[in-house]
Every structure is written in structure tokens, then in C-alpha cells.
Amino acid sequence: MERIEKIKEFLKDNPTDNFLRHALALEYIKTGEEFAARVLVLTII
């Protein structure tokens, strides 16, 4: 969960950074939060 919080902090400074959004989606997948990951990926496209 610590990684998710760190990535969210980075996203506050760069909310349109697709690399960070992708990284956050992957972290959500690792924790079983597939819906949150899907939402992030769909907003990248």
C-alpha cells in the first residue's frame, strides 16, 4: 500500500502523467483492486 500512496503523491504534482497512472494501475492490480486499475487505464486511452 505504501507504493500506491507514493504514486498518488507524485500524481498530485503531475495529474496527466500517463506513466504514473499506468504504474498506479499495476499496483492496484497487485492488491486485487482490478476495478480501480481499469478506471485508470481507461482514462489513459
Separation CA 5–CA 12 (nearest Å): 11
Helix (H) or strand (E) holding 43: helix 34-44
Instruction: Report the distance separating Cα 45 and Cα 32, nearest Å.
Output: 22
pLDDT tens column, 13-44: 999 999 999 999 999 999 999 999 999 989 87
43, 44, 32: which is closest to 4 by C-alpha?
32
Query: Residue 43: its pLDDT value, please?
Result: 86
